Structure 1
Amino acid sequence: MEKRRVVITGLGAITPLGLNAADSWAAAKAGKCGIDTITLYDHSAQKVHLAAEAHGFAPEDFMEKKEARKMDRFTQFALAAANEAVANSGLDIASEDAGRCGVLVSSGIGGLGTLEREIAKGAEKGYDRISPFYIPMSITNLAAGHIAIRHGLKGMCSCVVAACAGGSNAVGDAFRHIRDGYAEVMLCGGAEAAITPSGIGGFTSMHALTTCDEPTRASIPFDQERSGFVMGEGAAILILEELEHAQKRGARIIAEVVGYGTTCDAYHITAPTPDGSGAASCMAQALEDAGVAPEAVGYINAHGTSTPLNDSGETAAIKTAFGSHACRLLVSSTKSMTGHLLGASGAVEAMFTALALRDSFAPPTIHYQIPDPFCDLDIVPNEGRSAALNYAMSNSLGFGGHNVSLLFKRWED
């Protein structure tokens, strides 16, 4: 049976670079940095003082105040991004078969801010006094649930939880769901709001975050002086549609999703395999799924976290998967600008990869200064680059050994 084709017809985002998809992408193209001193809470007693916040985000700008009070910050991000994506797509959901429209939205941690606040309240006043919205605000699937409720989407509604790979899994699983004939429309992506005392403290104690206080030297993927990642927050939602469905309604198509690979290192709870073999297998799987030769790919949006193990391991993986073509690839990490959005990162980076194809432009890896011989690919240092791109890949590699690769194709009418 011939596989159905799947295209991207809408985008929405809340990121450290902008409060919508267009502003976020414009800032990424320009190489702007979204990393600065934490303002969301008093960090003076902690080792980490920098993060990539969604500056200027006010939930009442995107939804009713009464509604926002019943949502954790990660859900507010997700719903704001979903509303933008629907408007951006031109979809009239009321005229669609609601049972053929679904939602797949990831979060790595969910409502961490709500958990902290209500547990502190319970410890002080008694746990029977915590908010009746404590559970529905904190559980990770409620971002997807709120989106489905708001837009009346009655198909599959689920939440992928796969640490830093979850947002990409959500896009890939939604792609397969449409390609295999189960839906015509899927809203997919990820949301995260983990810039909290325990979120930052937990990652600090496991030595995953950089303690650098200089924004220009904090998130520096592939640089020899990299020392850990910077926490980011936000959301991105992509609207995927079956091609004929999109064409029939005259949709504006941004890019095509053509391949999806997902593997597990089965090696360590936090560290990737040093040789990158699991990630390499994942990339090869995405290429095979699409029936695309490695030489056809022009750009990779790397996982590129700015941790010593990830960046060298991912470099090795790209060399294994792409062979001699690896030296001709453009490979950048937009986490140099956004920080690491955990379960939302793959969705934001999938969005950037699709837009890179649309605009024939590879965004940069900013603040790069000192080359690392173990990270010797063309990482588009410091300035973005115009390039003829037909295929582009986005990689996400998560704690637990989760690997995801998404392959996109430039859309031409």
Structure 2
Amino acid sequence: MEFEPPIVTGVGWETPLGNTLDGVWARLLKGETGVREVPSGTPLRSNLAAIVPDVPLEQPPGERQHTLATRAITTALADAGLTPEVLAGPGTELILGTSYAANLDDPDVVRLDDWARGVAEALGYPRPPLCVATACSAGSDALLMGAELIRSGQREVCVCVGADIVTPAKRLGHSLLGTMSPDGLRAFDSRHNGMILGEGAGALILESVNHARSRCARERAILHGAGSANDAAGMTAPDPAGSSVVLAVERALAGSGLTTQDISVVSAHGTATPVNDAVESTSLRTLFGAAAEKPTVFGTKGALGHSLGACGTIEAITLIQALTDRQVPPVQGLDEPIDDFPLPLPPAQDRGTPVPAGSGLSLTLGFGGFNTALLFTVPAADHE
């Protein structure tokens, strides 16, 4: 039996630039950034970070992540026109993704999924939720799992969440790894020298076609395909050939009815580490280098920071916004693109670059070689 791809009927997020859909998007288009100086009790390579402003840093990290996740889910359910009671239904799955959450900073954590169980309990979800911890791809993998559950007919509604927080241990870890920039995140710029940590949460409501249309739900987007691959090249460094990134995209395209020619926008992982930027450049050249019409690439980590396990869902929302609005925000800090980057990039000084109608590709590349690709389109009515 053939099952249709899931429909995105609701979205919600908590970001360093706010938590309203249109408000955050407008600030991104204006080139604003949530990155600022955040004092640290330990010497770091940089004190820059992107913090959600209305969740006090003085609170314990686990409480902060709980707040971000539950607020994003509540917003997404309301945006979908669903009440929280839908979570109690047997046809609903709650899927939460993160990296290490607060576990590196809290010695009392017993299970790595304690935070997810706490969110589920607070929202009235009656079963243990699914918890994904595939590093920076965790949010995207939550969406991949939700899409598969709906496509296979096992669930009617999937609430897919990515949530993560800035903590002292994460800041120290990335400082020691050398992945943290001392002066700013400049993805795909020749001066790139690392990322800046961020935090937030993104939630997307996926529904089967029958479930969404039986209640006349608004259709924000269609998740046409999802694919993942692991290069197993190292604990932190990706495979420089980019072959598993390409494989993840090919798996997302398989059975979707789409080809690379249908993609007009790419939301890149764009961490601004020289290694990551090189891998994405190589992968995108393999995928789109021969295309007559090349998609525009954008990335939002310069504005929102690298929110680790949350970035996949947050960036899925920015991609849906770009497809709906037919424009992409500037890439923060991009003034001197790296040599021979294969696709168009919106420079930092632009304030909304137009893109043609089409489909969108979101890429996430996680530590440990976790690479995930998501393919979205928006309904034709939203293009008119």
- Bin the TM-score by the shorter chain: over 0.9
What is the CA–CA distance in structure 1 between the aligned matches of 2:342 and 2:133, rounded to whole Å? 32
Aligned-residue CA RMSD (Å): 2.2
Q: 2:160 aligns with which of 177, 182, 188?
A: 188
Report how many residues are paired. 378
How much has 1:325 moved relative to structure 2? 2.0
How much has 1:164 moved relative to structure 2? 0.7
Change (3 A) 1:83 1:97: closer
How much has 1:93 moved relative to structure 2? 4.4
1:85-164 → structure 2 map (5 Å cutoff):
85-94=76-85, 98-112=89-103, 116=105, 119=107, 134-135=108-109, 139-154=111-126, 157-164=129-136
What is the CA–CA distance in structure 2 between the aligned matches of 1:166 and 1:360, rounded to whole Å? 27
What is the CA–CA distance in structure 2 between the aligned matches of 1:155 and 1:253, rounded to whole Å? 27
Determine if contact 1:101/1:155 at 8 Å carries over to the other structure.
no
Determine if contact 2:97/2:138 at 8 Å carries over to the other structure.
yes
Q: 2:233 aligns with which of 267, 283, 304?
A: 267
Q: 1:197 aligns with which of 150, 168, 178?
A: 168
Change (3 A) 1:147 1:98: farther
- The TM-score with structure 2 as length reference comes to 0.92
Which residue matches 1:309? 275
Which residue matches 1:130? none
Q: Which residues of structure 2 form unaligned runs of 5+?
A: none
- Larger displacement relative to structure 2 (305-314 or 45-54): 45-54
Which residue matches 2:191? 225
Change (3 A) 1:223 1:327: farther
How much has 1:154 moved relative to structure 2? 4.4
How much has 1:293 moved relative to structure 2? 1.3
Determine if contact 1:299/1:329 at 8 Å carries over to the other structure.
yes
SS in 1 for 2:9: strand
Determine if contact 2:164/2:307 at 8 Å carries over to the other structure.
yes
Which residue matches 2:361? 393
Letter in 2 for 1:312: A
Letter in 1 for 2:67: Q
Q: 1:291 aligns with which of 224, 246, 257?
A: 257
Q: Return the index of the structure with the highest Cα Rg.
A: 1
How much has 1:95 moved relative to structure 2? 6.2
Q: Which residues of structure 1 form unaligned runs of 5+?
A: 60-67, 120-133, 213-217
Change (3 A) 1:267 1:69: closer
What is the CA–CA distance in structure 2 between the aligned matches of 1:327 and 1:388, rounded to whole Å? 10
Structure 2 residue 346 is the aligned partner of structure 1 residue 380: yes
CA shift digits 1:55-84 (9 cap, x unpaired): 12359xxxxxxxx98953112111111111
How much has 1:267 moved relative to structure 2? 1.2
- The TM-score with structure 1 as length reference comes to 0.86
Determine if contact 1:8/1:241 at 8 Å carries over to the other structure.
yes
Change (3 A) 1:71 1:308: closer
Q: Which has the higher helix share?
A: 1
1:214-363 → structure 2 map (5 Å cutoff):
218-325=184-291, 328-363=294-329
Determine if contact 2:5/2:225 at 8 Å carries over to the other structure.
no
CA shift digits 1:276-296 (9 cap, x unpaired): 111111112211231211111
Letter in 2 for 1:405: A
SS in 1 for 2:132: coil
Change (3 A) 1:284 1:38: same
Structure 2 residue 6 is the aligned partner of structure 1 residue 32: no
How much has 1:390 moved relative to structure 2? 2.0
SS in 2 for 1:378: coil
Which residue matches 2:48? 50
Which residue matches 2:7? 7
- Taking only the aligned residue pairs, the percentage that are identical comes to 31
What is the CA–CA distance in structure 1 between the aligned matches of 2:198 and 2:372, rounded to whole Å? 20
